């Protein structure tokens, strides 16, 4: 039997991304694999299936609004993302690996122009327990609805959310390391002029991170999307 077993590093080298990206995909079950002892392994067949699953035609409404002469279209900045979102009627459910489905009762979708590409984003907003209590929560996904979605960043509602509608999302660097309050803010966040605070000053409770975070109101989809696109670039997806 020829299994063509591959290590995460071998897959990362072939796809020209960081090994951390592959490990996250396998942890979430998006790239099929198995554990030999404590080490993740996958197969050439699983990798080829993953690539096929991720290679999707553009939605018809996007094709209808594009012409062959627009490859040079300028990237959209944060201010451009305040409008143009399509509301997803009825929201949707998302199945996290080894967890119950999460219900997003409010959801939006949009195609964003970034790095010369059309990036499909979905933002789901719902309620889930975090830092010791049920909070309003938002997740930005790379993907389409209905279809495959890969989470990029998560926002949790502040303790005073009912009054402020404020949410916070931890900033990560170097794979999964959280950005400490004393660390220098990465250049992408400085250039984007995103609102920044300390996560556990906004979301207080058990297991609330002492890390720098992006702050956004529930209706500031442009801030959430910009944070997600920076994270996608850090992961090697852009």
- Looking at residue 67, its pLDDT comes to 43
Mean pLDDT of 25-37: 79
pLDDT in tens, 145-200: 887 788 999 999 999 999 999 999 999 987 678 999 999 999 999 999 999 999 99
pLDDT digits (tens, 9 = 90+) for 198-232: 999 999 999 899 999 999 999 999 999 999 999 99
- Residue 55's pLDDT is what? 62
C-alpha span between 123 and 86 (Å, rounded): 10
Whole-number Cα distances in Å, 35 to 32, 38, 96, 172, 228: 11, 6, 19, 26, 29
Query: Full-prediction pTM beyond 0.75?
Result: no
The β-bridge partners of 87 are: 108
Q: Is 10 helix (H, G, I), strand (E, B) or coil?
A: helix
**126 in Cβ contact with 103 (< 8 Å):** yes
- Summarised one tens digit per residue, pLDDT across range 107-154 is 999 999 988 888 899 999 999 999 999 999 999 999 888 877 889 999
The whole-number pLDDT of residue 64 equals 52
Mean local confidence (pLDDT), 22-43: 81
């Amino acid at each position: 039997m020829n299994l063509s077993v591959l290590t995460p590093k071998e897959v990362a080298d072939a796809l020209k991304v960081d090994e951390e990206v592959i490990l996250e995909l396998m942890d979430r079950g998006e790239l099929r694999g198995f554990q030999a002892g404590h080490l993740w392994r996958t197969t050439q067949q699983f990798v080829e299936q993953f690539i096929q699953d991720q290679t999707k035609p553009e939605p018809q409404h996007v094709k209808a609004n594009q012409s062959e002469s627009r490859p040079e279209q300028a990237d959209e900045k944060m201010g451009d993302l305040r409008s143009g979102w399509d509301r997803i009627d009825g929201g949707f459910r998302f199945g996290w690996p080894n967890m119950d489905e999460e219900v997003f009762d409010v959801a939006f979708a949009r195609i964003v122009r970034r790095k010369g590409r059309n990036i499909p984003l979905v933002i789901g907003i719902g309620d889930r327990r975090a830092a010791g209590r049920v909070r309003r929560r938002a997740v930005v996904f790379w993907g389409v609805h209905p279809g495959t979605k890969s989470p990029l960043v998560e926002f949790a509602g502040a303790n005073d959310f009912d009054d402020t509608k404020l949410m916070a999302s931890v900033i990560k660097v170097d794979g999964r390391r959280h950005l400490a309050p004393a660390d220098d803010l990465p250049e992408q966040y400085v250039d984007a002029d995103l609102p920044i605070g300390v996560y556990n000053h906004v979301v207080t409770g058990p297991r609330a991170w002492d890390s720098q975070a992006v702050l956004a109101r529930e209706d500031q989809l442009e801030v959430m999307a910009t944070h997600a696109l920076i994270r996608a670039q850090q992961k090697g997806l852009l």
